[in-house]
Amino acid sequence: MTVSNQNARIFFQGDSVSTTGYIYNSSEGNNATTGWINVKTDEVLIQIGCGTLLVGNGALQYRIEGKFDTLDRAASISVGSFAQSESIDRVSRVTSKVKQIRVGARLSTMVSTILGSPNNFYAAVCLTELK
């Protein structure tokens, strides 16, 4: 198979995460309709990174969520965390065939003190169509 089309969409671009509730982008916050994009393609890859992490006794958590064609309810696809900033991003392959996807980020609920800001989070999706 060869790649016939690829495009990327950005969820977070070095945005500072400073809340213990999930947010889905820096400008729209955390409501049920925030951050969803359509992903009806052959392959879905999520690239996630943490450039700066300034929290005490905790971590920056992320969650990849999806919605199926038949249900309009969010489901957790993958959950992960960063205990420190990293020099290279992570990639997660979404193997479930979902109609929409989003990425949320939050500080761990175990964080006792936020030592400073920013806590820079990066997340994007790469959508690939094959022929």
Instruction: Provide the domain count of the chain.
Output: 1
Domain span at 81: 3-130
pLDDT at res. 113: 62
- Strands 90-94 and 120-130: what pairing? unpaired
Backbone angles phi, psi at 2, to 5 degrees: -120, 160
pLDDT at res. 88: 93
Distance CA 23, CA 25 (A): 6
Contact, 87 vs 109, CB < 8 A?
no
Return the residue matching tokens 């996807």: 101
Extract the residue ranges of the chain whose pLDDT is less than 50: none
Contact, 69 vs 99, CB < 8 A?
yes
CA distances from 57 to 22, 78, 129 (A): 18, 23, 42
pLDDT at res. 81: 93
pLDDT tens by residue, 80-96: 999 888 889 999 999 88
pLDDT at res. 12: 94
CATH of the domain at 97: 2.60.120
Name the burial class of residue 33, with classes exposed (0-12), middle (13-18) and buried (19+) by CB atoms within 10 angstroms of its CB.
Answer: exposed
Distance CA 6, CA 47 (A): 14
pLDDT at res. 58: 77
